[in-house]
Amino acid sequence: MDDDLPKLLTMPMTGRTARMLERLARRRLTRGGAAFVADLGIGTARRHRSTSAVPAEPTAFDDLFDSLVRLLAVTRGPGHVDELLRLLAGGRPEDPEYDRFVASLLASCQRPADLGAVYEEGVAVSEELRACLLHELVLRGVPVAEDPGIASWATSPHWRDHPLAALPLVLAEPEREPDLPAYSGEGSSCGFPYPDPEERYPAPRLDAAQVAAAVETTTAATARAIASAVANWADHPEEPEGRAEARTFALAEPLDPDALPGVLVTLGLDCLTDLGDLPKPGEETAFGVVAVEAAEVWRFLFAASATGGAYDSACYGAYGRLHAWRSLAALAGAPPDAPASAVEAQVRACAWYRFSADTPWFHRVVWDLGVLAVTPDRRRLAVLAATTTD
């Protein structure tokens, strides 16, 4: 142990102390002090758990520990991954979502060759971290099946009941452009692939539309599956303004694509309530339906789950991928137990659309989402709308 640590660990833990110790850890790390950073985090975590610890600000310990984890995870260097694993083993919070965060940091910032340590036998690493890291790497195009250490763990039967085990180890066609975060020691950034809420569209000819009779077929299970990617918007306690609408309809006649806007406004959707009178054809309106590829819909769904909404509701990449596929599969009408290859085939066979509208239901800021799927026989229409705001 570093000679300075005993003294540092007896300091009253305040926000100011935590910031000072973080700056010290940064300086030590630039001089090869990865072990010091881990020892500091382990020591403060033990002190935090001790009933004899001196009075401290409630969040100072957690803030310092998170900073030290991030520091080791985002900085490349000899032994950094090993020391991070030791730090997590000695003071990791009892929170499965923490593994998702750490896996995203590691996959974004460390070389894949250095991450084999996570999968070595005998290393004190949670299986959740391994599972999340595996799919964070897949999202970044890393050929995980070609790495003997990772592949041995990924293909072993012991984790086959894990939710993430259902995902393939290579990206499918719709996943070709995931929006992934960039991390540094100070914070993170990510893109927003959602359409501009100020975008305008040519007014549709609703009076001339073929309005096919529609019967709602939504079940509770289907609605939950379709809304998987936006559940963190609608149900997360940090997203009080979030809501989602997921519904399916059977059409009496095959749907003419030109009639889709007219059909949509007859379905009684909550998100289109109070749509109001549309302008005359040739003029522009906030209500629009646009044909898109499945890949664009997947990007919306992945970003909604992986990066979250306005507040702290991110599921990160691995679970973002899982939730995006669950939503896409349910929108496309694929059976819940269909293998990944069958789901992809069904998704690629469907016609996909995005839609938006200026109604009281949508918040009309950054986080507005409206997508539609029409099955190949054009007799089933699935709708997902979601919105949240700060």
What are the tens digits of pLDDT across the range 196-213?
A: 888 888 888 775 455 668
DSSP conformation class of 381: E
User: Which pLDDT tens digit goes with each residue over 250-272?
Assistant: 999 999 998 899 899 999 999 99
Burial of 317 (0-12, 13-18, 19+ CB in 10 A): buried
Q: Is the pTM of this model over 0.85?
A: yes
Please give the pLDDT value at position 378: 95
What is the overall mean pLDDT for the chain? 89
User: Residue 253 CB: number of other CB atoms within 10 A?
Assistant: 13
Please give the pLDDT value at position 279: 76
User: Residue 384 CB: number of other CB atoms within 10 A?
Assistant: 29
Please give the pLDDT value at position 367: 87
Map out the domains of the chain as residue ranges: 5-183, 201-387
> pLDDT confidence of 249, banded at 50, 70, 90?
very high
Please give the pLDDT value at position 97: 87
174 residue type, one letter:
P
Q: What is the CA radius of gyration of the chain?
A: 24
Tell which residue, 263, 259, 280, has the closest CA to residue 272: 263
Three-state DSSP at 155 gives coil
Does 52 have pLDDT greater than 60? no
Looking at the DSSP assignment, which residues form a beta bridge with residue 244? Answer: 386
User: Residue 216 CB: number of other CB atoms within 10 A?
Assistant: 11
Do the beta carbons of residue 353 and residue 294 sit within 8 Å?
A: no
Strands 380-387 and 243-251: antiparallel
Does 33 have pLDDT greater than 70? yes
Task: Match domain 201-387 to its CATH number in 1.10.10, 2.60.40, 3.40.1000, 3.90.660.
Answer: 3.40.1000
Compute the average pLDDT of residues 132-157. Answer: 92
Does 93 have pLDDT greater than 70? yes
Torsion-angle region of 316 (φ positive above 0: left; ψ -120 to 50: alpha; else: beta): left
What is the token pair recorded at 15? 């926000």
Alpha-carbon distance of 115 to 105, in angstroms, equals 12
